[in-house]
Amino acid sequence: MESKSSTTGNRDNPNRNLHGSKTMMASHFLRALFRIQQTSTSSSSAGRSRRIRRAAYASMAYSAGTRRAWSRALLRKLRSRARLRFPRRLSRAATPQRRDMDQAQVLRKLVPGGPSMDDCKLLEETADYIRFLTTQVRLMQTVMDSVSS
Amino acid sequence: MSSRRSRSRQSSSGRITDQQIDDLMSKLQSLLHEARLGSHDRASAAKVLQDTCSYIRSLHREVDDLSERLSELLDAAGVSSDQAACIRSLFM
């Protein structure tokens, strides 16, 4: 993985940082797909879908490495074999005055490692997490398009 | 194919464009600057955070959905090594 993250270029152009990670993400995910395809039978289709989902988050986390709190938290979860769950329900803010406080709390539950972040860190990590998530989604869409054509 | 590498996809199937991402990023970043300067517009901060949460949730759902669809595809046909090389080059 390209180690541009430690230089000042990181802040100025986050997309440059992402490019090397994209390669790693694609390689990791495709290798995982091969393994899953080879080691699963037609009777385990639900399990296969879960393994693919896990591989998606794994390739995100491995390509981001340990330089980000969200990826470290994801890697911890993956290694401990814990279930990867994210809240799905839309949490309603109780009262208008508390709305923005609640939203930060809601966000903390959606970003891996969120609960231990202060507000500033949360926003930085969120931006990075979204970049990687979006890239992973696009990767999966590309695979879908390629395989089904 | 160059058309597949186009950075901006149509939103017909709900795909997010790079422009939308850039907008969201600049909003998040300006929010960060506001927080550091101490001034805090509560209304817009809440909205940006809310939009961010919705967006992340929708991305999580997409990962789930694509995982299921890929699982079905793998069952039907595999990903050949030729396709894998092709995918890598398309994606970069």
Q: ipTM, 2 decimals?
A: 0.83
Q: How far is A134 from chain B, CA to nearest CA, in Å?
A: 7
Per-residue pLDDT of A32-72, as tens digits, reads: 998 898 887 766 777 899 999 999 999 999 999 999 999 99
A94 interface with B at CB cutoff 8 Å: no
Query: Of the given ranges (A86-90, A91-95, A144-148), which has the lowest mean pLDDT?
Result: A91-95
Q: Which of B2, B25, B66 to mutate to test the interface with A (most CBs of A within 10 A)?
A: B66
Q: Is residue A33 within 8 Å of residue B69, measured between CB atoms?
A: no
Residue A141, C-beta contacts closer than 8 angstroms, at least 6 positions apart: B15, B66
**What's the pLDDT at A8?**
44
Q: How far is B65 from chain A, CA to nearest CA, in Å?
A: 9
Regarding pTM above 0.80, the answer is no
Question: How many helices (DSSP H) and strands (DSSP E) are in chain B?
Answer: 3, 0
Q: Between A52, A88, A110, which is nearest B70 by CB? A: A52
Q: Which of A24, A44, A53, A84 to mutate to test the interface with B (most CBs of B within 10 A)?
A: A53
DSSP 8-state class, residue A72: H
Higher pLDDT pick, A3 / A115: A115
Across B30-47, average pLDDT: 63
